Amino acid sequence: MAVETRMMNCIMCPLGCEMTVIIEDGAVTGVTGNICPRGPKYAHDEVTAPKRMLTSTVQVEGGLLPLLPVVSKSTLPKERILDCAAALRQIKVAAPVAEGQIIVENILGLGVDIVASRAMEAHQE
């Protein structure tokens, strides 16, 4: 039986608890140091299938600015973040764009949409 002890900071709330996580044969068997009940769930998810939000930009044609900030609508598998960022480098959108508008639906087949995190007006000449 392989037993590992890992220290991690919880990011589920502003407290940022420093937790000690016990992992036995790849499964979380104990979590200490958390103040709120979200810590153990975060530790379990981080050990078994870490996920992250993605914030990036895409190119805009005809907009007031050359780049549009975008964000994933929910978390993505951590190991696919760089692949998703590379895919976004190939995207160009035309202004105007509304905040919350879907820019890429179901990015890389992961079931997560990429949306505009701000509105972008068209450039008026």
Alpha-carbon distance 96 to 19, whole Å? 45
Give the model confidence (pLDDT) of 9-21 as tens digits.
999 889 999 999 9
Domains of the chain: residue spans and CATH: 3-48 (2.20.25), 55-116 (3.10.530.10)
Separation in Å, CA 13 to CA 23, 31, 47, 80, 117: 23, 16, 18, 24, 22
The pLDDT of residue 2 is above 90: no
Q: What is the pLDDT of residue 44?
A: 93
The pair of structure tokens assigned to 72 is 């994933």
Q: What is the pLDDT of residue 85?
A: 98
For the residues 91-120, what does the mean pLDDT come to?
Answer: 98
